[in-house]
Copies of this chain bind each other. A is one copy, B any other.
């Protein structure tokens, strides 16, 4: 095959997958009034491949002359990671702040599978990973990554007898020479209802008692026993809102149940190697938090754009406290961009693959998640109460009300009342509505919680902390037995010792 068209992608979804939304089974995800929004959002990735302005970004021509999606290209160096970063940022801009989620997360998982196959050094896993990547490349498939288990009592292990049942984490319940049978459920899986493939990873460290839970595999989204329950999506502006001629982009997230699903061995990437589970979790997280940082950039820029616009419309740009709040958002945006870039520039190699710097990716992700609510607060403060107390489009269209609204809800003289109301409506929708609440919670929980990032930053900084400790010990007059090995400290340490002798 090769690169697919948008149409080919869409028609590939018209199978008999088991997807529920609003309590009803969906006939065809491409025509369901909610899910089709997601299909179109995901389709942006395929569309980019068709557009002259973005083809070079979205695709790569391999040495063999084959054109493939950049996501399935194996990165060689920082430059490749920066290019992939640019692809994700651009795709999100084209998605009006929503990343297509077509192959980005899926390829993060694919790369993690490759890395861990390398680390484990088992040839069958290496071959399967390689073969699966070829499959994705050749058929230009859309892949969701299903990682987060439903967990039950979060304070208990998967195999703990105190869990209400043993299926709170996906596990192998049967196996034969053809393959394995898996049971369990994954939750918060974005865009899965309109992906071709589901790539499953474990979601935590596992002990020997949990060996059946150490399982990673890929299945077709329409495979027997795979059931998806979606949460309702925001359908975009309704009758109460000013119509906007921009297409509406959004995703759903689903609960995916694996109701004794058969997986052939060639799609099994981990099965029982409980001590490799954490490698898989970590390597996916390392890579994926950079993806998160990437797609947050356009969202953050949009936040600044709205805050700045409404400050001008309201006539408050000159007030010191308003400027201070804008500066907070400005710093938020540029720190995020710089950290995400630094993460690519300072790539590290895991299992033979260059990946964005784990420490810096986690810091970038933590930065936007930890400071998000504060920026929302700054924006809401600047925008004013009118964001939520203002009249609707229907009021504006009522000729009895319109003159009052036009006259009294104006801002600075150079902006029309309608434009002010439109900007306020956008702000309400994005930062003070169902969607706003969704965004706040996603900032905290998507791609791992704040606590998860703190854990990783801690782990990833330990080696340097040890070196800094040595320098501190030398400064304290404490005997340091082994000199530092960080390149930037080796010579300094030597020079300092000479200076004191």
Contacts and interface: CB of A to CB of B under 8 A. Distances in A.
A473 interface: yes
Quickly give the copy total for this chain: 4
A150 interface: yes
B302 A388 contact: no
Interface in A379-412: 380-381, 383-398, 400-401, 404-405, 407-412
Nearest to A23: B394
Interface string A404-446: 1101111111000001001101101001111011101110111
Contacts of A321: 320, 324, 450-451, 454
A347 interface: no
A334 B305 contact: no
Contact of A388 (B163, B184, B231, B255): B231
Contacts of A495: 51, 53-54, 94
A165 B476 contact: no
A185 interface: yes
A366 interface: yes
A166 B478 CA distance: 26
A60 to B, nearest CB: 19
A431 B388 CA distance: 15
Pick from A54, A306, A469 the residue with the most CB of B within 10 Å: A469
Contacts of A491: 53-54
B392 A22 contact: yes
A376 B94 contact: no
A471 interface: yes
A307 B204 CA distance: 24
B426 A327 contact: no
Given A154-B315, A188-B389, 5 more contacts: A23-B395, A150-B410, A185-B408, A230-B391, A338-B342
Interface stretch (A112-120, A241-249, A268-276): A241-249
Interface stretch (A66-74, A125-133, A171-179, A457-465): A457-465
A349 interface: no
Contacts of A187: 385-386, 389, 408-409
Contact of A408 (B243, B255, B385): B255
Interface in A340-355: 341-342, 345
Contacts of A405: 229, 255
B338 A385 contact: no
18 contacts: A23-B393, A90-B492, A94-B499, A184-B408, A187-B389, A246-B500, A253-B389, A305-B465, A305-B472, A323-B454, A380-B440, A383-B441, A385-B441, A419-B476, A422-B476, A423-B473, A432-B434, A433-B434
Nearest to A465: B308
Contact of A385 (B243, B330, B442): B442
Most buried by B among A335, A377, A434, A489: A377
B458 A302 contact: no
Contacts of A451: 319, 321
Given A155-B316, A309-B469, A330-B458, A476 B244 contact: yes
A359 B377 contact: no
B20 A400 contact: yes
Given A155-B318, A413-B162, A390 B231 contact: yes
Nearest to A417: B164
A96 interface: yes
A257 interface: yes
Nearest to A405: B229
A16 interface: no
Contacts of A360: 334, 338
